Amino acid sequence: RIGEGIADIARSRATIVCSEHQLTRFAADHIKREVKAASEINTTIDLCSPGIYRMSIGSSQFTVNINEMCCSCRLYQEEGLPCFHAAAICAKLTVPFSTVVAKPFKAASIRLVYSAHVEPIIWSSLSKSKFNVAIPSKKRGRGRPKISRFRGRAEKRRDLR
């Protein structure tokens, strides 16, 4: 058993600040919100095996694999940022958050994307013949369009008087 609750999260905020230059501002703000929310709730964290932890919040249990960046709530896999459960575990274990964030949210990835030289577009060099836009064949009438769907048997028709 690693700990009862996450009352000493304040020292983990220093870890976020230290690694903040390694993360994008969006990722750092997201992690700060999750850690703050985790510090306000009584939780229990158990070690299942190396890198795999179980977090209990009341009667709910969530399994977090720090090494593979996944959680049983599925938010960690979908977003690439630590979910509430993963952020709470990382804060409790003082794991640097830069190691548990997906590559697109790291500042080094952003710098790499913008390091290449991009040639500007010179609008006068573009010929207008490439951008022929067809005129719409039908012009909409005024007002709100009429409902064109078929109503189901259970739906009532409204009298418009």
From CA 69, how far away is CA 87, in angstroms rounded?
Answer: 11
Reported as a single tens digit per residue, the pLDDT across 49-108 is: 888 999 988 888 999 998 899 999 998 988 889 998 998 888 888 888 888 899 889 988
The pair phi, psi for residue 21, each rounded to 5°, is -70, -15
Dihedral sign (CA 42, 46, 51, 57): negative
> What predicted TM-score, i.e. pTM, was given to this entire model?
0.59
Q: Cα 47 from chain centroid?
A: 26
**Token digits of residue 5:** 């609750």
Contacts of 151 (CB under 8 A, 6+ apart): 157
